[in-house]
Amino acid sequence: MKVRNPLSGFLLTILGALGLSVLVPIPVVLFVPWIEIQVFIIGFIMFAIGVVAGRSSLLGSMGFVGAFVGGFFGSLALSFLLWPTGWEYLLALLYSAICGLGGAVTGKLGLRRIEKMVQSMPKSRRCSRCGARVGLTARKCWSCRAYLPPT
């Protein structure tokens, strides 16, 4: 497993929530006739979108904010395109908050992934002459310049 830049995970969370929140609720809007049921079903869909999008973030707060921002702009675009009711901004805030909660749930799980990766990473070794920590593949100590035995 590789540890990547947290900002790239944040950007992936925003883009994932944006794309999914535009595409996934379209069948509900087109095939469910009552607007009250549409609002109820899309709420659950937005939570699931936040869960999926939040998996690419590393921290719960980044998952929340990324899913919130992506869900807001995605649901706002969906509201203006398919569902003009006059309540676009309020519904977009509601859906983005629900999407952000889903992102926070799975983003919080990302801390456990990081802890597991750090525990499974190889440990550093010490120089036998001065005791400084050096990498596993180092040939010379960075502190005293002594040659290290091969690993």
pLDDT, position 1:
44
Tell me, what's the pLDDT at 106? 81
Asked if 117 and 64 count as a contact pair (C-beta separation under 8 A), the reply is: no
Nearest partner of 66 among 78, 42, 49, judged by Cα? 49
Task: Indicate the domain borders of the chain.
Answer: 6-120, 125-151
Residue 111 pLDDT greater than 70, yes or no: no
Average pLDDT, the chain: 83
pLDDT in tens, 7-30: 888 888 899 999 999 999 999 988
Span 89-99, average pLDDT: 91
| Structure confidence at residue 115 (pLDDT) | 67
pTM (predicted TM-score): 0.69
* Cα 131 from chain centre: 40
Round to the nearest angstrom and report the end-to-end CA distance of the chain: 22
Q: What is the pLDDT of residues 51-84, one digit of tens each?
A: 888 888 777 788 888 899 999 999 999 888 887 7
Confidence at 97, pLDDT banded by 50, 70, 90: very high
Helix, strand, coil shares, percent, the chain, to 5: 65, 5, 30
